[in-house]
A and B are shown apart, each in its own frame.
Chain A
Amino acid sequence: MSDVWTTITVLAGAVSTLAIFSLLYRENPVYRFFEYLFIGLAAGYGLVLTWSDVLYTMWYIPVFQQGAWWWMLAFAAGLLYYTIYIRKLAWMSRLLIGTMMGLSAGAAFQQVATQYAPQIAASFRPLLPPTWLGVAVRGDSPNLTWQQLVNNWVVLAILVSVMAYFFFSFEHRSAVMRKTANLGRWMLMISFGAIFGQTVMARMALAVSRLWFLLVDQRGLAGPGG
């Protein structure tokens, strides 16, 4: 019996895959049908997991099994979102959304301090060698190699030039500013090329996994990575 179900499941996977790939030939109703089916399945699965992993463990069990009745207030507050459908009460949904956005905005200042501020600190790198012609120049970074020194200068030049490129608040009148911003534009091309190179690999990996399922190993019913 399990073999029958396994066969049905594998066939369903193959049919689904080929239905989506049919778009490569041309737009067709089969592709559309399966696309909408996917959206429905995804929505349903999101609903199931929201209940099982979040609401059941964090609200239902505490309230109805452990007697922590106060979490009912959180549930009631969440229902305020739905007042958006009632014109007269819609302001309550904005009250809730505003509160949630306020929490995120307050947390964002911490994000600046803990995520972005270390980037500023990391930008200050040694630009002079530890010794020059036998004379000690700097006490820290004694093991700084010349390759690292060159890289530090390259990083500084690119950082300053790209930042100059993004200064849109004033006109780039001086030749120094214009040339620096122009250099920034060229350096951004290197970054974009790197992003493109990585993106190609990302997309190809997904296609490889699908063709692996179709042509080689359908046993991986844990998912399309199988």
Chain B
Amino acid sequence: MGAFITTPRHGIQLALFVLGSVLAFALAMAAMHALPTRYRRWITVLFTFVAGLFYLAEFVIPAGVGVPAGSSRATDNFLSKYLDPVGNASAIIFAVAVGMGILNLARVNGAPLLRGRPGWQNSLAFFAGLIAMTVVGLTRWHAMLGATTPAARRAVEAALVGRLYHLLFDGFYSNLGGTVFALLAFYIVSASYRAFRLRSREATLMMVTAFIVMLGNVPVGPTYLTGWIPEGHWFSFAKVEHVSDWIMSVPNMAAQRALIFGIMMGVIAMSLRVWLSLERGHFFGQED
């Protein structure tokens, strides 16, 4: 039976097995759907629990349990061999979900475009970018599939589809993405003069620390500010890069570690609540 299921198929057999598996999956979901509504939450709770239990059990069960003696996979237990298929299945499932993001964006931008609302030109820009990049990207990818040598790949890049791809990716996408985040630098400069006010001793401490770290990070601090102090001299601890390094690796490190402990508590609490389906909220509490 195991061999029947895990033997690769080809030709008509493959088509039958593929259709059959989809049909079987659909039937299983239909059977679950046919159950009374009150069971649906428990099915979800069960699946969530078993999924979490798999990874937890695989981690805590000692190495060698359920594995033949003398096996080459000394760190494994009887659950470890399922990590790879679960990982692959999860990757495929998450990849299929990407379409949802596209659908939502299309829905949000489709309404202004179809109804001629103000800003429809922006929605048109969205769809133009989406369709152009998808079509050109997939066409180029398909052409590259058949290009197995560097010369063939260069030929694809020199063709129209390659040129268009570089126009969209290198010309538009990369520059637009980089510049959106670069705007923040200008806002910081504006805020530095207009908003950063040292109205308390804590704020002053924060700003002095920031000044030291900023000057220690960039070459101008160590070179021109404290470059006159020779390395190895008893006073070299006062070199701005050493002070900055000390601030980062001692007080900052200790404070961040304390934050990590708090995060750790939160991760444990939240993971337990999700795993045991104790979480409440719009998503978790919905009933059909």
Within the complex, are A and B direct neighbours (CB within 8 Å)? yes
A interface, CB within 8 angstroms of B: 2, 5, 8-14, 16-17, 20-21, 23-24, 29, 32-52, 54-55, 58-59, 63-64, 66-82, 84-85, 88-92, 94-113, 116, 119-120, 122-123, 151, 154-156, 158-159, 162-163, 166, 184-194, 196-198, 200-201, 203-204, 206-207, 209-210, 213, 221-225
B54, B119, B203: the one within 8 Å of A106 (CB): B54
Q: Hey, which chain B residues are within 8 Å of A197, CB to CB?
A: 209-214, 217
Q: List 20 A-B contacts (CB under 8 A).
A: A9-B171, A16-B175, A36-B125, A58-B88, A71-B88, A88-B288, A95-B40, A106-B51, A109-B55, A120-B261, A155-B254, A158-B254, A158-B255, A194-B247, A197-B211, A197-B217, A201-B218, A206-B181, A209-B182, A223-B170
Question: Is A200 in contact with B188, judged by CB distance below 8 angstroms?
Answer: yes
Other contacts beyond A8-B171, A197-B212: 5, CB < 8 A: A34-B176, A54-B92, A108-B271, A116-B264, A196-B206
B interface, CB within 8 angstroms of A: 5-6, 8-10, 14, 17-18, 21-22, 25-26, 29, 32-33, 40, 43-45, 47-56, 59, 86, 88-103, 105, 109, 119, 121-123, 125-134, 137-138, 141, 158, 163, 166-186, 188, 202-203, 205-214, 217-218, 247-248, 250-264, 267-268, 270-272, 274-275, 277, 283, 286, 288
Chain A, residue nearest B263 (CB) = A116
In the complex, A64→B8 CA distance in Å?
Answer: 10
In the complex, A24→B274 CA distance in Å?
Answer: 44
Question: Is B174 in contact with A80, judged by CB distance below 8 angstroms?
Answer: no
Known contacts A106-B56, A187-B255; A70 and B137 CB within 8 A of each other? no
Q: Hey, which chain B residues are within 8 Å of A102, CB to CB?
A: 47-52, 274-275
Question: Is B173 in contact with A71, judged by CB distance below 8 angstroms?
Answer: no
Question: Is B274 in contact with A38, judged by CB distance below 8 angstroms?
Answer: no
In the complex, A193→B173 CA distance in Å?
Answer: 34
Known contacts A13-B171, A197-B217; A106 and B98 CB within 8 A of each other? no
Q: Hey, which chain B residues are within 8 Å of A92, CB to CB?
A: 29, 32-33
Chain A, residue nearest B95 (CB) = A54
- Least CB distance from A130 to B in Å reads 20
Q: Hey, which chain A residues are within 8 Å of B202, CB to CB?
A: 185-186, 189
B52, B59, B102, B214: the one within 8 Å of A201 (CB): B214
Chain A interface helix/strand/loop/mixed: helix
Q: Hey, which chain B residues are within 8 Å of A77, CB to CB?
A: 25, 89, 93
Chain B, residue nearest A109 (CB) = B56
B45, B126, B182: the one within 8 Å of A36 (CB): B126
Known contacts A17-B179, A210-B182; A36 and B122 CB within 8 A of each other? yes
Known contacts A9-B170, A54-B92, A213-B175; A194 and B210 CB within 8 A of each other? yes
B45, B185, B259: the one within 8 Å of A203 (CB): B185
Chain B, residue nearest A77 (CB) = B93
Known contacts A98-B47, A154-B254; A210 and B179 CB within 8 A of each other? yes
Question: Is A198 in contact with B217, judged by CB distance below 8 angstroms?
Answer: yes
Question: Is B248 in contact with A194, judged by CB distance below 8 angstroms?
Answer: yes
In the complex, A137→B106 CA distance in Å?
Answer: 70
Question: Is B247 in contact with A201, judged by CB distance below 8 angstroms?
Answer: no
Question: Is B126 in contact with A105, judged by CB distance below 8 angstroms?
Answer: no
In the complex, A66→B182 CA distance in Å?
Answer: 46
Known contacts A94-B286, A106-B52; A74 and B255 CB within 8 A of each other? no
